Structure 1
Amino acid sequence: MVPVNASPETREQLVRNIITAWHSATAEQRQRGRTWYRTAHDLAAKMTDGHPRAGAGVIAALSANKSWTENLRLARQACETGHAVGHFTDALTKAAQIMAGADPAEVLPMERKTGQFFRLIADPEDPEAVVIDRHAHDVAVGETYGNRDRGLSCASRYALLADCYREAAWRLGELPSTVQAVTWVAHTERIAGTGTRGPSRAA
């Protein structure tokens, strides 16, 4: 598990791992990564009749431990019927609050993956937000953890990894979210079929 109080050397290695993963991506993977959040933004707007912020909130609320395909199915169903189903009670409650008009930023844990996911779907050009899911973690550490605990519920560890993506992005001249999305696409496709992942997961 990544130490919360990582040394400068450890931080540098995490940044280098992210940059290495970026350079390993094919041109096609980079293109898909670059458009990932814009495509999600457009889907969020479509399912809420032109209100992408609300759609982004519903998608994010229902994203935990779901494949991207399943995440979208649940979000579309919730927006069409006005009733969220198929998830943990906490996620369903948050989705219901957002559909009732609550600001997603006041409902979702903004310092964690769900809140950051909302931010980037709502605004794909957000210069600071970074989604750290299990795959983004594994890219940074340079190792596929499989079912081992990554400790991402720890806010300090999440912040450390997010900062490493920001540093890598600064060196590459890209948005942090672009670096995360491109490396996520390359990593998940590399490990496909190894038994360490299910269908394509939300970033």
Structure 2
Amino acid sequence: MVPATASEETRERYVRNIIDMWRAATPDQLQRGRTWYRTAHDLASMISEGDARAGAGVIAALSANKSWPQNARLARRAYATGVPSGHVRDALAKVTRIMSGEDPADVLPMERKTGMFFRCIADPCDPDAVVIDRHAHDVAVGEIYGTRERGLGNARRYALLAHCYREAALRLGELPSTVQSVTWVVHTERIAGTGTRPPRR
């Protein structure tokens, strides 16, 4: 498991792993990764009749342990029916609050994956937000953890990995969210063995 604190040597290794994965991207993977959050933003705006911030909040609240197609389908259905379904009670309660007019930033855990996912979708040009999911973790540490515990619920551990993505982005002249999404595409397609079947976020 990644420690909550790490030596400069370890941090540098994580940054290099991220950059190496970025440089392994094909032109197609680079293009798809670059547009990932913009495409999600467009979906958020469409399902919410123009309120991309609320739509992004609903998508993020329904994202845990769901593939992107499942996530998008649940968010569309929540807006279409006015009744969120298909997820655990806590997620559905958050969706209900957001659809009732509460600001997603007051509902979601903003310093963790769900809150960062919301920020990246709501504003694909956010200069700071970065999603650290299981795949982003594995890219940084250079190892596929599979079902092993990654400890991403630990705020300091999450912040450490987010820092490494921001540092990699700085060196590459990119947004942190762009570096994360491009490396996510490369990594998930490597472990899936296909370029057409995106795994769960």
TM interval, short-chain normalised: over 0.9
Query: What is the rounded CA distance, in whole Å, between the counterparts of 2:190 and 2:198 in structure 1?
Result: 13
Give yes or no for contact 1:58–1:75 (8 Å, CA) kept in 2: yes
Query: What is the rounded CA distance, in whole Å, between the counterparts of 1:132 and 1:102 in structure 2?
Result: 25
What does 1:170-189 correspond to in 2, within 5 Å? 170-189=170-189
Query: What is the rounded CA distance, in whole Å, between the counterparts of 1:69 and 1:84 in structure 2?
Result: 16
Aligned to 1:101: 101
Aligned to 1:57: 57
Aligned to 1:112: 112
Letter in 1 for 2:78: A
**What do residues 68-114 of structure 1 show as CA deviations (whole Å, max 9, x unaligned)?**
00000100000111111111111000000000000000000000000
What does 1:51-200 correspond to in 2, within 5 Å? 51-193=51-193, 199-200=198-199
Unaligned runs of 5+ in 1: none
Give yes or no for contact 2:192–2:199 (8 Å, CA) kept in 1: no
- Give the 3 Å change call, closer, same or farther, for CA 34–199 of structure 1 in structure 2: closer
What's the C-alpha RMSD, in Å, of the aligned pairs? 1.1
Give yes or no for contact 2:189–2:198 (8 Å, CA) kept in 1: no
Letter in 1 for 2:150: R
Query: What is the rounded CA distance, in whole Å, between the counterparts of 2:48 and 2:103 in structure 1?
Result: 14
**What do residues 6-46 of structure 1 show as CA deviations (whole Å, max 9, x unaligned)?**
01110000000000000011111000000000000000000
Q: Secondary structure at the match of 2:152?
A: coil
Q: Secondary structure at the match of 2:146?
A: coil
**What do residues 40-73 of structure 1 show as CA deviations (whole Å, max 9, x unaligned)?**
0000000011110010000000000100000001
Query: What is the rounded CA distance, in whole Å, between the counterparts of 2:136 and 2:199 in structure 1?
Result: 13
TM-score (norm: length of structure 2) = 0.97
Q: CA deviation at 1:201?
A: 2.6
Give yes or no for contact 1:4–1:157 (8 Å, CA) kept in 2: yes
Letter in 2 for 1:201: R
Q: Spell out structure 1 runs of 4+ moving beyond 2 A.
A: 198-202
Letter in 1 for 2:158: Y
Letter in 2 for 1:92: L
Count of residue pairs brought into register by the alignment:
199
Give yes or no for contact 1:166–1:176 (8 Å, CA) kept in 2: yes
Query: What is the rounded CA distance, in whole Å, between the counterparts of 1:68 and 1:56 in structure 2?
Result: 13
Query: What is the rounded CA distance, in whole Å, between the counterparts of 1:13 and 1:199 in structure 2?
Result: 27
Tell whether 2:5 aligns with 1:16: no
Query: What is the rounded CA distance, in whole Å, between the counterparts of 1:100 and 1:174 in structure 2?
Result: 35
**What do residues 167-194 of structure 1 show as CA deviations (whole Å, max 9, x unaligned)?**
0000001000000000000000000059
Q: Secondary structure at the match of 2:143?
A: coil
Aligned to 1:201: 200
Q: CA deviation at 1:5?
A: 1.4
Percent of aligned pairs with the same residue? 73
